[in-house]
Amino acid sequence: MYDFQQILAQEETLDPADWTAMRVLGHRMIDDMMDYLQHIGERPIWQPPTEAVKQAFQADLPIAQQSSESIYEEFLTHILPYNKGNIHPRFWGWVQGTGTPLGMLADMLASGMNPNNTIGDHAPMYVESQVLEWCKTMMGFPAEGSGLLVSGASMANVTALIVGRNWFEQIIREKGLYGVPAPLVMYCSVETHNCVFKAAEAIGIGQENVRKISVNEAYQIDLDALKAQIAADRAAGLAPFCLVANAGTVNTGAIDPLAELRAIATHENIWFHIDGAFGALAKLTPEFAETLAPIQTADSLAFDLHKWMYMPYEVACVLIRCQKIHRSAFALTANYLLHHERGLSAGIEARANYGLELSRGFKALKVWMSLKEHGLEKYSRLIRQNIAQAFYLGDLVAQHRDLELLAPVTMNIVCFRYRPVGTDFDTDTLNALNKEILMLLHERGIAAPTYTLLHGQYAIRVANVNHRSRKADFDALVAAVLEIGKEVSVNVASIF
């Protein structure tokens, strides 16, 4: 049995014994990170963790306490120098945002407050409500619509597809998929992000019931192939329930014909979801406002705020056109979550009625502070700037005889490769050559584009959602690719 008297005679806390020392350390951390961010462009974009660093993370579980100062020194030695690099001006890998100084501080404030932002009558709940209203306004969703802040577009897509599935077959909440009279089928293009396919697995649809429709030369979904597949599935006794469109594919930035897809979804009486992980935010620019206007007709929309809104990881948004449908997909009464008329259990309805999570951090604060700091007009200018930079890079590639565009530049993604004239390298050789160029760009700390395969051809892929990038950075990238390409081509056989 516990000796409660002895235990309670030595009560402890995790607060510091010396608040002044902790305050000094906190100020030092902020100063160090501000210096780091201010001068990030002067550092190599990336350096691999050394063996000594990797070994440092094989240490045994700490049993005794250590000083906060010594822990911070370990951070400075073993962690900060080996960052991923996506805050660097020459990072264009995958589609990963850059963050901001105020966003960093907002995360600190949110962690200091440390609310669970799911239930209760407290200010963070109202902050998230306002952020969601702003997101609906940005995307043209109706005021009576609904939404939720989540970790990323992957979770946003899962949430939206759950809503769409449960709207189509309301019996699922009680009976599961066993109660569905016919297998559910969803549709998207082959260029759709793999998180949508994972979402289909997670909601019980399965890979075999996801129809991956071919694309045209612009990497947009083939409408005739889509219509034919839906007709064939209905004839086979299957139940089409959802159509997923892309507002900016991850490979090339292609935008599916959204208005035509909306019409097909309406005609077929199926859920129309748009994965706009980064591309939806191009709607804020005059150049893409018309093309992306059909976003506001979607039944649901997923997009990331930590990508093209440059906010610190992690925060994304899912919007649902109908609040009633959204709530009916998740609402569940529990005695310990009952709403009260007064007290802490009053206020806004629990957000657990709109998503899977009950434990939720105060991620809305960095969105609220960032939007107020910069205003929507500046975000629009920065998104336009990134698009203009992508077209600038595309022009640089097109102008050089040893470089080749592998897909048209349509938004903020550029896919190209090094292909020296006067050589007869086959596809395998060119693929290996460009892969080597990419790895050397990383290892030499020059720049961090990433890669994809387009029609079997290895592409150096620049996805620009970086508010720190400048034209000179793209000049430097092209110069480095040409220099490294020439260097590697001399001994091309050695890279196999």
Distance CA 495, CA 433 (A): 7
Q: What is the CA radius of gyration of the chain?
A: 25
pLDDT tens string 46-92: 999 999 999 999 999 999 999 999 999 999 999 999 999 999 999 99
pLDDT over 90 at 496, yes or no = no
**Residue 490 pLDDT:** 84
Q: Residue 352: in which H helix or E strand, if any?
A: none
**pTM listed for this prediction:** 0.95
Confidence of residue 192 (pLDDT cuts 50, 70, 90): very high
Dihedral (Cα; 12, 18, 21, 22), 10-degree rounding: 30
DSSP letter (8 states) at residue 412: S
The most distant pair of C-alpha atoms in the chain lies apart, rounded to whole Å, by 86
pLDDT tens string 77-131: 999 999 999 999 999 999 999 999 999 999 999 999 999 999 999 999 999 999 9
**Residue 56 pLDDT:** 95
CB 304 within 8 A of CB 153: yes
178: phi then psi, degrees, rounded to nearest 5: -65, -25
pLDDT over 80 at 403, yes or no = yes
Q: Which residues pair with 242 in a beta bridge?
A: 186, 271
**Residue 5 pLDDT:** 86
31-48 average pLDDT score? 96
The whole-chain average pLDDT of the chain stands at 96
6-19 average pLDDT score? 91
Smallest Cα–Cα separation from 39: which of 442, 468, 473?
Answer: 468
pLDDT over 80 at 1, yes or no = no
163-192 average pLDDT score? 95
Query: Each residue of 106-143: b (16+ CB within 10 Å) or e?
Result: bbbebeeeebebbbbebebbebbeebbebbbebbbbee
pLDDT over 90 at 179, yes or no = no
**Residue 483 pLDDT:** 97
**Residue 122 pLDDT:** 97
**Residue 173 pLDDT:** 93
Give the pairing of strands 316-320 and 146-150: antiparallel
pLDDT over 70 at 372, yes or no = yes
pLDDT tens string 264-310: 999 999 999 999 999 999 999 999 999 999 999 999 999 999 999 99
Confidence of residue 495 (pLDDT cuts 50, 70, 90): low
198-207 average pLDDT score? 95
